[in-house]
Amino acid sequence: MNTCTLLSLYLIVSVNGQYQISDITGVGRQFDGIGGLSGGGATSKLLVSYPEPQRSHILDLLFKPQYGAALQILKVEIGGDAQTTDGSESSHMHTENEENYNRGYEWWLMKEAKMRNPNIALWGLPWAFPGWVGDYGSTPYKNITKAANYIVNWVKGARDVHNLTIDFIGIWNERTWDNSYILELRSVLNQNQLQSVKIVAPDSIEFYPLDYTGFTQNASVFNALHAIGVHYPGTQLPENTRMSSLPLWSSEDYSTFNDDVGAGCWARILNQNYVNGNMTSTIAWNLITSYYSGLPYPRNGLMDAMQPWTGSYVVQDPIWVTAHTTHFTNVGWHYLKHGSGSGLLRGGGSYVSLTDGQNLTIIIETMSHDHSICVRPKLPAYIVIAQNITFTVLGSFYGIPKLYVYKTQFRYDNQSSQVFEKQDDYTIIDHTINLQVEPDCVYTLSTVYSPDRVQENSIPAPQPFPLPYSENFDTYDMDNEPKYLAQQNGAWEIVKTSTESFARQKTISRPIEWCPAPLPGTSAVIGDSSWQALPINVSIKVRSPAVNGARKLFVALKMSGLGCQAHFTSGIFLWLMPNTTTYSISYDLYSLTTVKSGQLSAPISFDTWHSISLSTMGNTMSAQINADYISAPFTGSTMGGFVGIGSSDYGYSDWDDLMIYEVPEIVSSIPTTKPTTLPTTTQSTTSPPTQPTTSPTPTVTQSTGSPGASCPTAGRPKLSTTFAILALILIAKLW
Ligand SMILES: *[C@@H]1O[C@H](CO)[C@@H](O)[C@H](O)[C@H]1NC(C)=O
Ligand SMILES: *[C@@H]1O[C@H](CO)[C@@H](O)[C@H](O)[C@H]1NC(C)=O
Ligand SMILES: *[C@@H]1O[C@H](CO)[C@@H](O)[C@H](O)[C@H]1NC(C)=O
Ligand SMILES: *[C@@H]1O[C@H](CO)[C@@H](O)[C@H](O)[C@H]1NC(C)=O
Ligand SMILES: *[C@@H]1O[C@H](CO)[C@@H](O)[C@H](O)[C@H]1NC(C)=O
Ligand SMILES: *[C@@H]1O[C@H](CO)[C@@H](O)[C@H](O)[C@H]1NC(C)=O
Ligand SMILES: *[C@@H]1O[C@H](CO)[C@@H](O)[C@H](O)[C@H]1NC(C)=O
Ligand SMILES: *[C@@H]1O[C@H](CO)[C@@H](O)[C@H](O)[C@H]1NC(C)=O
Ligand SMILES: *[C@@H]1O[C@H](CO)[C@@H](O)[C@H](O)[C@H]1NC(C)=O
């Protein structure tokens, strides 16, 4: 017998363990629920625009009890008008003198969640704040009363406008905390009869070891807090915190690519946050990948829904890992103590037991190291092997005759994984449960029954972003956030007047940013991160700086490298400077290097609409600003990217009639003889009132195989009829 065999024999003998499931000496900590985070930032952006019935089905998969993830907590960002990872979310108070509780999609999401599960807890947390909250400095703690009032307004808006009861409120995501602010927030909540709204803090990102003695040893702060929330604890907390009598929560965790290794990460931390760290609630960043692919942290949600134009979505396995706990527990149940229902398994992995005094739920996970790595922190080495485990059931559970059994096994050996599959019921004989468990499994044994996993209805196939695309912003209500236009910094909202409807960027001063490096100004993107050569048209209305108009606006193609790292944002940026009647072109968002610039023939007057177009074709980029044509060799990055709009500073900018054309295959076959007749084009009825009337006569090609042949005509006849001609005009011009 060689040493290897000896070693494995030794392991087999030693790992088979006996464990007690008992409440004889009492129970452990209260279970506070598993949740998902919408925000930090703009992670649910695309979901709200989904068609039915897919949108309802996705919401069911997230929130409906005993259906999909069946989340017990929904945590949302309190928008602060600034980039907070995958975009910006709008504040309810862009300025000190206004309040609006109809912006963005978090209100909608919270209502949809409550509709499906009235017991779901709601939680709000700010990442960024409008500049005025901090007197235009970089911290919200300059005047703690002002900051507390701002947050309490959001809680009141939820109640008064949406009939939503907020359960938890945080302080400042992953940034410094200030005990005086916590006390002030508690006091302002109480003054507003919001005693029931509990404060969770600090939502800190620093890794183990952490020092929360400022919370646990200061009696007033301790009393003002409901729970200590930490991010990415790696299932550990320092000893002095772990023993605190405050509830301990992993208030943001996971953040891992949602394949089966991500699902393994999620399974491991859901159990081990309690086993190793005494943490009783875990929140996944993020709830759902509903932001464009090409933005930071792709597929870091419990599932994916990035295709509102088709309704396509993917139910990833973290949904079913969540189900292993949430289908069989309720907030308010208790974990069993370490050593009498919860602990590590001798052969690797962990088990937790939860009870309401009568029902019993046992969750076992045996995730191997390499198949459960989370994005952070580093996971120390360990091994998991197949093992036999024996549970002796005592105390209140002594007489339980049988348990329902559900199993997940992720496989990496070309056999198909088993995901949340109901097994035969387990009959308990002699108060003993014997199980043979293998690595990379999750088992739930429970007195609570859950129906079989829902089968997917036919999910529409994914398709690229639909082209040609046009948006005239007419079909929205006032204050809506335009669909598909993913604001990256600042806040775009619909403005409706008696004659027109358009999108306005409404952030007029630098927010208290969450991103470490200051962002240059406002921006929003739309489309597809792989787009190369596309012609786009858009109308811009510039407002005077005297009424908070932005001074320098851009239209961009091929925008990539988004998120907080705006220094890496590249693309083709066409800038307009109305104050000097000039334009410039840069390949970066900070406009550090100007590749072309010049004077315009006519001023860009305030408060009137101006037509802009921009395109690339081969090695040439071309632009039109009213009657001026610009053309230059393109020498920038070959990376694809989004269409973008924005400004180099904070201030109002108005946008309308955005059109993104297909690159017609016809390009290669444009005839060499060019007729010179101007085609009659139908103007959109919502066209800007002051379209420039003079424009050079375009050269037009007539051709078979119109690029407009594939235009979606439904609902947009007025534009679709002109797409082919317009695209051809443009192509011909650029030619
Ligand atoms: C702080 O903000 C409150 C509420 O907006 C205001 O009443 C108070 O005057 C401010 N304090 C200072 C020192 O500016
Ligand atoms: C507000 O919500 C509660 C449940 O939280 C419900 O009982 C009540 O009817 C709702 N009120 C209105 C006006 O919808
Ligand atoms: C508790 O914290 C508050 C706010 O920082 C502070 O004013 C107070 O002095 C502290 N109390 C003690 C006993 O340290
Ligand atoms: C915290 O966890 C340890 C095991 O890591 C356990 O012994 C202890 O009882 C727990 N304390 C509380 C208060 O839950
Ligand atoms: C727990 O057990 C009680 C009594 O057996 C039962 O009525 C109740 O529905 C159970 N709870 C859950 C969540 O299944
Ligand atoms: C577990 O028990 C079964 C049945 O007694 C046995 O065949 C198997 O070898 C055991 N596995 C381990 C890892 O001990
Ligand atoms: C899985 O199948 C692929 C192709 O059939 C093969 O290349 C690979 O080696 C297999 N992997 C394992 C672990 O069996
Ligand atoms: C789009 O831009 C092209 C080129 O500037 C222009 O000829 C055309 O009229 C524009 N289309 C609309 C609908 O404004
Ligand atoms: C025009 O606006 C730009 C951008 O804000 C600014 O840098 C420049 O100083 C302004 N020029 C004049 C002449 O006002």
Residue from 13, 387, 436, 438 whose mutation best tests the ligand 6 pocket (most atoms within 8 A of CB): 436
Nearest in space to 247 (alpha carbons), one of 307, 167, 190, 317: 167
The pTM score is: 0.90
Rounded Cα–Cα distance for residues 69 and 315 (Å) = 10
pLDDT digits (tens, 9 = 90+) for 255-314: 999 999 999 999 999 999 999 999 999 999 999 999 999 999 999 999 999 999 999 999
Tell me how far apart the terminal alpha carbons of the chain are, to the nearest angstrom: 79
Count of CB atoms situated within 10 Å of the CB of 158: 24
What residues have CB less than 8 Å from 458, skipping those under 6 apart? none
Nearest ligand 8 atom to alpha carbon 691: 14
DSSP state at residue 456: P
Beta pairing class for 418-422 and 402-409: antiparallel
What residues have CB less than 8 Å from 608, skipping those under 6 apart? 541, 688, 689, 690
**Closest residue to atom 2 of ligand 5, CA basis:** 359
Give me the mean pLDDT over the 314-342 stretch: 98
Rounded Cα–Cα distance for residues 615 and 199 (Å) = 50
CA gyration radius, the chain:
29
**Residue 386: CB within 6 Å of ligand 6?**
yes
Q: Does residue 574 contact residue 598 with C-beta atoms inside 8 Å?
A: no
Catalytic residue list contains 174: yes
Nearest in space to 659 (alpha carbons), one of 554, 502, 537, 532: 537
- What is the band of 14 on the pLDDT scale with cuts at 50, 70, 90? low
What residues have CB less than 8 Å from 9, skipping those under 6 apart? none
List the structure tokens of 434.
């014997």
pLDDT score for 3: 47
Q: Which residue stretches of 289-336 are H helix?
A: 318-326
What residues have CB less than 8 Å from 494, skipping those under 6 apart? 473, 476, 477, 478, 479, 480, 481, 482, 501, 502, 503, 504
pLDDT score for 8: 53
Nearest ligand to the CA of 611 is: 8
DSSP state at residue 259: S
Q: Does residue 173 contact residue 125 with C-beta atoms inside 8 Å?
A: yes
- What is the band of 373 on the pLDDT scale with cuts at 50, 70, 90? very high
**Closest residue to atom 1 of ligand 3, CA basis:** 218
**Residue 637: CB within 6 Å of ligand 5?**
no
- How many residues would you count in the chain? 735
pLDDT digits (tens, 9 = 90+) for 18-55: 999 999 999 999 999 999 999 999 999 999 999 999 99
**Residue 16: CB within 6 Å of ligand 6?**
yes
List the structure tokens of 84.
């907070």
Sign of CA dihedral 28, 29, 31, 37: negative
Residue 481 has pLDDT above 90, yes or no: yes
